Amino acid sequence: MEATKILSSEHRVIEVVIDCMVKMTDKALAESKLDGQSAREAVDFIRTFADQCHHGKEEDILFVEMVAKGMPSDSGPIGVMLSEHVMGRNFVKGMSENIDAAAAGDESAVKAFAENAKGYAALLRAHIKKEDDILYPMAEQTFNEDEQKKMLESFHHVEKDHMGEGTHEKYLKLAKSLAEKFGVPTDQISESFHSCGH
């Protein structure tokens, strides 16, 4: 299996949580109060699964290997992806800082949470599309089978040693429980996901 296919299957899980977050945000705006527990779970998912694990594999492995093959790191597709990762972290910080007040019914905090959540959702949806349609196909043409295999082994190392056994399963379960709560379909994640990191 190609390393990029694993990253792409992780995108499908991230998209489900983004859809949940948007529904959660719309509900909060309508009720002038945020569901604090669901918001904390979504932020935890984004920080641990989407950022540390998924973006970590891109930044520390895939992008590094692509740069070694001659792609620039500070411009072009990789430069754009890296700056968008930073923008995403800022949105998540803004969400996180407003959860407690928004859950207590502070209207300005609900609005601030919503702005950051919607900003993150829009950014990440476009970001994922660029990676799936442009960057990953470029990577697939750049690496031979042995190099892909080496990257997969590095991914496994990230999963097992850096993130810890069972982390992937924990966050897949969290994504599914949020999806159930907010009525978001999860069909696109159930099949493709089990190969991740294993």
pLDDT bucket at 89, cuts 50 / 70 / 90: very high
Express each pLDDT in 55-75 by its tens digit.
999 999 999 999 999 999 998
| Residue percentage of the chain with pLDDT more than 70 | 95
Q: Which pLDDT does position 164 carry in this prediction?
A: 77
- Domains of the chain, start order: 3-182 (1.20.120.520)
Q: Which pLDDT does position 194 carry in this prediction?
A: 46
Q: What is the C-alpha to C-alpha distance for residues 61 and 155, in angstroms, rounded to an integer?
A: 8
Q: Which pLDDT does position 160 carry in this prediction?
A: 79
Average pLDDT over residues 107-129: 98
Q: Which pLDDT does position 35 carry in this prediction?
A: 98
User: Which of the pair, 47 or 159, is modelled with greater confidence?
Assistant: 47
Summary mean pLDDT of the chain: 92
pLDDT bucket at 192, cuts 50 / 70 / 90: very low
Angle at 9 between CA 6 and CA 14, to 5 degrees: 125
List helix spans (H) across the chain: 3-31, 36-45, 56-57, 63-68, 76-103, 107-130, 136-142, 145-157, 167-182, 187-190
Q: Which pLDDT does position 190 carry in this prediction?
A: 55
Cβ pair 127, 35 in contact under 8 A: no
Express each pLDDT in 14-54 by its tens digit.
999 999 999 999 999 999 999 999 999 999 999 999 999 99
Q: In Å, how far are 15, 33, 86 from 94, measured between CA atoms?
A: 20, 17, 13
The reported pTM is 0.93
Residue type, position 56, single letter = G
Whether the pLDDT of residue 103 is over 80: the answer is yes
